[in-house]
Structure 1
Amino acid sequence: MTAVSVLGAGSWGTALALLIARNGHPTVLWGHHPEHLAKLNAARCNERYLPGARFPDNLRVVANLEEAVKTAEILVVAVPSHAFRNLLMDLAPHLTPESKIAWATKGLELQSGKLLHQVTEDVLGPDIPAAVLSGPSFARDLAANLPTAITVASREIEFAKMLAGLLHNNRFRAYTTEDIIGVQLGGATKNVLAIAAGVADGLGFGANSRAALITRGLAEMMRLGLALGGKPETFMGLAGVGDLILTCTDNQSRNRRFGLGLGKGLPREQVAAEIGQEIEGILTTKVIYQLAQSLGIEMPITEQTYKILYEGLAPSEAVNNLLLREQKPEALAG
């Protein structure tokens, strides 16, 4: 059995810790807020995010980061992207020669636009084994032991296989790839497109519009991903189109629900407060838009989402801007 610590005690981090512990591995769950961790320990359940999903006996909740890092061979980071670098800096002094790191965070670094494997190399150096977990996977379904499949990406394929084996059971399937760039870009960009899909549905545009948006959104994801070195097959897989479909169509997606509220004309602050959890796509929209601009890559859905969030553009006007664009052959369309 492999000792694992999951760093981040929100819904997704808790669900991953449950999966790993249920598979028989000694598991630690750590979070930033001691009072939240105390409630988890007392209830032996994350009642706030995953009510009813009881913690196995081999899942420990700890408030001390040093303990969480030093007692595990594999660290799985599940914090929002804006907290990613700071957490790596905090855990770095406690790493051992055997430490390996993976993350389930879906986003890019706001200040630099870097992918999280680049942030990991900045902070921890190029030699630590590193991997990313991504794919169509809602925390609630995972905690309920419903069938789920994801992709594990690492440039060290043996580490990816190790992680996949650690996660695998008769209800959870993990595929492997070396395309760490494509997997990360798929996981980040789909949150932007889920906000856009929510806006369209909030405006009452129906299934035709949603299908068109998902399809053209996938084209945007692929243009950016291929420009940065991702592989086409990654975007046609679980971490690309799979996660995109999930987050654009199901209301478990916080990004989609946020877009729905905006499309219905509700104030942004009210929608975010009602959701009450991190909406990763808000910051990711800014990073992806700026990255596409810097590379000269056309991403019209992302651009209009950015204008809604950061320039006050009315959602109905954003849709008009998309529909009034110049006609093109589909293969050449931005």
Structure 2
Amino acid sequence: MAAATLKVCIVGSWNWGSAIAKIIGTNVKNQQKFTSTVKMWVSEEAVNGRKLTDIINHYHENVKYLPGHKLPENVVAVPNLSEAVQGADLLVFTTPHKFIHKICNEITGRVPKKALGIIHTEGIDKGPGGLMLISDIIREKIGIDVSVLMGANTAREVVAGEFCEATIGSKVIQNGILFKELLQTPNFCITVVDDADAVELCGALKHIVAMGTTFCDGLHCGNNSKAAIIRLGLVEMITFTRIFCKSQVSTATFLESCGLANLITTCYRRSDCKVSKTFPRTGKTIEKLEKELLNGQALQGLETSALVYQFLKHKRLLAKFPLFITVYRICYEGTPPTEILTCLQSHPAHL
């Protein structure tokens, strides 16, 4: 008897969800391991007087979040979250991390315990020990194994078929390999590693470093100064991850796409860079600029910086992280942005 094919559900339809939907929808047509229809949960909204799900299912395009890119016809937009995940074997979470608790609460008990998940969600959350990984929230609430997808890539470049790399971190390596089969293409090359927590932390901590580099841009510093911030930031990312993770962390993980390459991509190309670039030249707070410039989106490094600061303060480890702490103090305590350069001069950190 042939093994049952695996049903896939994409939880989230923003730009990354739609980009991944294009990859998965195309891949499952050519593999017998996966069911040919892919469900994609869409948080329903009206676009030009029509439901977004109707537009996606009729025109096969997410005109709101990824316009100009056709989705495979086997990708079906579903407005009801519980209906979308019903019976799914593989769940691909692509939602912003602020929605994870609400999503998990809604689908708890509706997802088979044998199901597997993977997240492409950058961020961290408050937890009992000060910080909690998004993957751990899903594991705890839904009770399934969760892998992590991170890398030096942007949704629009991926969906356009430009060459990109990515890393899957998985505590159960064969689960990571399964998701690699689902997601890899000739131009979206994936490596699987077992440092899942390190892979996930790379995706969160890089935003603190990116804020530092864009303060540097706002001060009209050159690439040498920016490179110094990236170097110091990578050192602090590695040091923090080793403190946070209970298992041993390999330095090699930070040389994968999820680490250094992802950090560089974020520091040199981010839509929200305009906030921290503008900040040194105005008397406005970061929070005010965030509201004025980002059209309702969140500045990811801001919340992450605060959570990391509180974690390190509780652990009495502030002195080990001069860059992380300087970024926090610029954002929240009125420290002049020029202190980002003083930080470099005073703390030539090494591993």
TM-score (norm 1): 0.89
CA contact (8 A) 1:106 1:187 kept: yes
Structure with larger Rg: 2
Corresponding position of 1:247? 266
The 3 A distance-change label for structure 1 pair 237 and 294 is: farther
2:214 is aligned with 1:166: no
Corresponding position of 2:37? 26
Residue from 336, 340, 347 that aligns with 1:319: 340
Distance 1:98 1:165 in 2: 18
Residue from 279, 300, 308 that aligns with 1:262: 279
Listed as ranges, the gaps of 5+ residues in structure 1 are none
CA contact (8 A) 1:2 1:26 kept: no
Q: Secondary structure at the match of 1:133?
A: strand
Identity of aligned residues (%): 26
Q: Secondary structure at the match of 1:183?
A: helix
CA contact (8 A) 2:11 2:17 kept: yes
Corresponding position of 1:35? 46
Query: For residue 268 of structure 2, what is the amino acid of its counterpart?
Result: T
2:136 is aligned with 1:118: yes
CA contact (8 A) 2:94 2:119 kept: yes
Q: Secondary structure at the match of 1:331?
A: coil
Corresponding position of 1:237? 256
Deviations 1:45-72 (A, max 9, x none): 2233322111210111111111110142
Corresponding position of 1:184? 200
1:6 Cα offset (Å): 1.4
Alignment of 1:11-22 (within 5 A): 11-22=15-26
CA contact (8 A) 2:209 2:233 kept: yes
Distance 2:70 2:206 in 1: 30
Query: For residue 174 of structure 1, what is the amino acid of its counterpart?
Result: I
Distance 1:245 1:183 in 2: 15
Q: CA RMSD in A?
A: 2.2
Q: Which of 116-125 and 68-77 deviates more?
A: 116-125
Corresponding position of 1:279? 299
Corresponding position of 2:33? none
The number of residue pairs the alignment matches comes to 325
1:149 Cα offset (Å): 1.1
Deviations 1:212-245 (A, max 9, x none): 1111110010110122233211112211111101
Query: For residue 330 of structure 2, what is the amino acid of its counterpart?
Result: I
CA contact (8 A) 1:15 1:142 kept: yes
Distance 1:216 1:323 in 2: 8
Residue from 331, 336, 340 that aligns with 1:309: 331
Alignment of 1:33-182 (within 5 A): 33-35=44-46, 38-39=51-52, 41-42=54-55, 43-110=59-126, 112-125=130-143, 128-182=144-198
1:155 Cα offset (Å): 0.9
Query: For residue 37 of structure 2, what is the amino acid of its counterpart?
Result: P
1:40 Cα offset (Å): 5.1
Query: For residue 13 of structure 1, what is the amino acid of its counterpart?
Result: G
Q: Which of 27-36 and 296-305 deviates more?
A: 27-36
1:118 Cα offset (Å): 2.3
